[in-house]
Structure 1
């Protein structure tokens, strides 16, 4: 069924059908014309036969009618009806109504006598029978159309047979002729196009004709040559060769223009991509070095913060000890104050207390010196921490604030230590005076009591300051712990950044290797 429908839809069938239809219409028109022409001719011929027969009988029947010779009359009529197309002859009397003699055809077309009128469709010709210009009778000749219709039927059959013969001959001629001239070349073109549709551009038709099909196949061969050339260019482009020079076939060469645009765009794109890869490569290298340096700095910073934290812990411990000593000194000063009221009898205890004060003052002097040294070291460490925080950028802002706070606390500690040193120095002077005038204790007791009160006041202030300093150092320790956590996070982030930079550098190098396989035009760049 598929092949049948394919044939019915073919050009060969359509052209053949069209030509056969035209031929059939022409033959039908010719047949109709021939039919009516022959019919008119046969009818006229029949009329002519009837006219001639009637004219001859009007002459030949004069004697038989005048002589009333029935035998001769019959013989004359029978002789005239030898023409098969004459169906009947009627001889009437001179009135033209009464039948004198009549013959007609029987079922087997034999001649029989008849006294009846003829009914039917006939070609009728009549002629008067004259004798010496006097009418003695009337002869009527009836010619039948039966043989005319038979001949016309034969003519129709011949026309149909001729039409069929011509159509069959025309169809066979067209079928074979078109098959050789049109169908075979068109089928070859169709088969070639089917192969081209599959992507094979090596097909060539090579039909050497000067007609339209030959020109078509030559155009197709030329088009395939161009397409094959463009395909080779596209293949070279896909292989990385962007140095292709594409020539346009005409201003309407859309494919050529598209290939030109693609090559130009790819050249520009690859050039920009290569330059970007170089920049990424250099940037990744710099970022990798900076990340490595940042990682090392963060590690060193973490170690420094750890050392500072240990030092602050030690300072806190000593500050607490100093606070305890200050408290003890304060209690003893109060005791000295009470003892000074006891008078001379408690001088020995006062002397011992003064010696104790001198000893404690020496210890306090050492402690204040230590505090001063610690404050100096803390100030240096805080200064270094500020520098490292500035290097760390935004990640070191919090650390810079804490470092500044540490410096302030160190300054306070240094000032407090200086004040303590001053107080201790004054206490030592007063104690020396008390020791020198011990013999005059009773006289100077009131003055000693006042000095002891001042010492107690100073020691109370020292205890308060030392307690505040201990609390501040605790805060510093907490801040340093936070700084330590941040520093460790910075270290981890720096290490991750360094690893990512190394990976970025490796990927940039790989991208440059991939781009190096492209060959682009000199005006773009050289890969």
Structure 2
């Protein structure tokens, strides 16, 4: 059966079926197309050429008759030329009749060409008599033949040719209609075969896919249930293909898993009841990676057994140690109480020192503020002193300029005095006419002398002022240097006071930290005291628990040692 075939063979059957359907469609198409092609070839190779040749025969016979008419009505010289043309047309007609006979496909067609040939021969006999009469210049007799029996014979030949044309046209139309009908039948047949092939292929594909997918779904469902912890479900698919073998393997795996899980439950249940000497009932199933589970379970069994043995031994030691801890805890509690009393006294002393240090820090900060204010005032005085020195330098420079101007005025007075003397001398030389000029010169001289005297007095005063300014500048510079020294000293004092204040703050902070530390130590000592008391109580409780643990462990069946 198809069900028991391998999946590869099932797929091969499916592909082979598809190829068979494709071959049927292709073969049918080829056969039908060959028939259509034969019908078409019959039209193109027989019917249409026959129509063409028959029409050419009819046309050539018409040309032959035209040359006969030209022969009758032409002169003697032209008759030879028309006779040659008539002879040529006769050969053409005979060749075309022979060609047509080679394409005859039926008795009816043979009869039609025979009738046409016989009527053509009969026409030639009449034509020969007509041309003979024309050669003998018996034109009237030739025309009578032309319009009489020759006309009847020509019409008969022409009708026979037209019958051939109609026969072949009818055959071509029948072949064309047959081709169309055959095409319609072929198209319908191909569509039907393709439809049947598609339906068969789809049904076969669905059947084969179901043969593969349905058991796979069952296996997937069983695997999902196993993943969820349900090992009671099994796959009932019976087949010899890969899926069937996988289903059987899957069922065996499920049963083995179920057996191993039940065995693990049995071993763990016995261990839960205190029996650590229990053994597995199906060690032969723990193969491959499953053997690691068995080994791990045995290791757990050995480890728990040894652990409980060690707990039993440790509980004995705990019972002994708890008594010792209880005695030590009581001694520790007594010492902690004594330490707490000493720490309280130390804390009071440190708090008093902290008060003094905080006062020192405050006084240092106040002194720092006063020194900072004094330093600021001294810096402002120093700045004013430097500004005054700059003003004195400016005054000195201005006095020098004034001294230069006074010297210039003194020179001008000296020159004016000389000019006045020269004017007086010239006035004396002039006599009476120069008296008025001498008076003016004398006044100018007096003014020059007074200007010189005033300049000398001013120079003396300016020199005194410049001397006083220089002395003041010297004193101011020395004062400025002293102020700079005072400012630097003030900055140093300010820095030292800042350092003292900072050190006092650090000492206060350190004392505060010491106080906090002492408080913490006091708290720790108190905690230790309380802890020691609790430890004593806990040790007694631990001793009782150790005895209880020994009683519990005595209920287990333990393995003596690890092998």
Above 0.5 in TM-score? Answer: no
Which structure shows the higher helix fraction?
2
Q: Which has the higher contact order (CA 8 A, sep 6+)?
A: 2
Give 1 or 2 for the bigger CA radius of gyration: 2
